[in-house]
Structure 1
């Protein structure tokens, strides 16, 4: 069986997707202790390390055929907000060099790197690609929407498939039927509140009114950001992107609530029995940062088929 390692493993989306594709994850690492704990609970057969991967000793990492990595995206993402230009994002972007360092030491046959599409606009992206090329890797970058691979949310991410070969491979990535948001929402669960209550923001009430006009009594709407902010989103479509803090509210008649952590887990495509942190905000943060398992599964499966 093919063996893989997972850099910047977070909650374990890449590892879960790899397992769905028939790959054995033997090692995973992340700098956040809480994420390492959750990953270890869900992937107990893998070795785990809690460390800054830019300081990693790759000699301690077991042999593997596939390197998976999802370096920090905050320095690239449009969602970085007021901290745009902050030196912390220079440090964030530099985590991508850990992928080169690990690949140089182990030279696995394959690597798959996930990030936001803006990663390709990084000033050092050409240099990063050149470094991977110097190690003998041919790169196949592609933009993948998780909704096209069975997850009930639209989530566009960049996947770069690297193969130790003279020429990049052509992946046949077939699209799956979209899964509607209604399939993951439990109207009997969650902390419902009346829409009309003292202190409710006027902007929220306007969103509710617009959503009712467009979609009736049941729909979802974002509480911040763009996308469906003015009209809401019908339940027959996938959700918009799950983020690291509560974003999507559910409206049911005269009541509303935010998505539960369990609904966010389902929107990401994790199994229903996947263990989450008990604290809601921590669970949502990990899920919003995670690689979408169904997308990772299909990318890895297509890579193995093409190879």
Structure 2
């Protein structure tokens, strides 16, 4: 971190990704966006490509990835939009991508995720949301550490959510083997993990010139909510703001992601959590904005890193 002061920018809730990167030149930079073929991933990729970066869409659905790449190329004129296969819940898939990557990597956006899914576990016995949202991105980032270090000033973006306010890491039973499964608690725990990863990765990798930040993109109706009914969405909105929580467009939802990924305003800044294009305030009890203290706790961050490394090494 540069200092302890809260970071603000000229951008806001309503800003779009294109506005955030207006005038930013990313020519010669290489980026990976996980989940780059749907929702805010598309607009994150489009903004980065529009600023001149080479962008690789790391996706589960190759056909959707190819369609998105064609669309981004057509709208930006940047032909350096590539597609790579990635299933974050499959260790072999993550390893294949990291081993195939050649050369430096300047920007890694951990955007893909699964939300409030029915109970499911990977072959290793890992709860699916934690495996996808945290373990897969952790394995991807650590597997690409050499490429990030080689870039000089690389940035890693950990897309979290206000749902992190629903649960800290329950270290005693991360994978719901003893406690009853609850989809939103599982999602919340995985999103807390995304923030803690940013805290510990920045501490460990700052010497390599790598900074890592987490963010809340905002409320955007995308395929991420495929397991969530419209009724549940409306109840969540009511809890968030007395029925007044505002939706963002995908272009607005991607704004904080690209701010963290590429804005010069955040040079040298790491280990923080952003929302609406500014560093978040501490959460106030009874609200659904801001960041929970447990999500920025350095001891929890270090413990999670160790636990995660042990899981992936098993």
Please indicate the TM-score interval, normalised by the length of the shorter structure.
0.3 to 0.5
Higher helix share: 2
Structure whose CA Rg is larger = 1
Higher strand share: 1
Q: Structure 1 length as normaliser, TM-score? A: 0.45
Q: Structure 2 length as normaliser, TM-score? A: 0.45
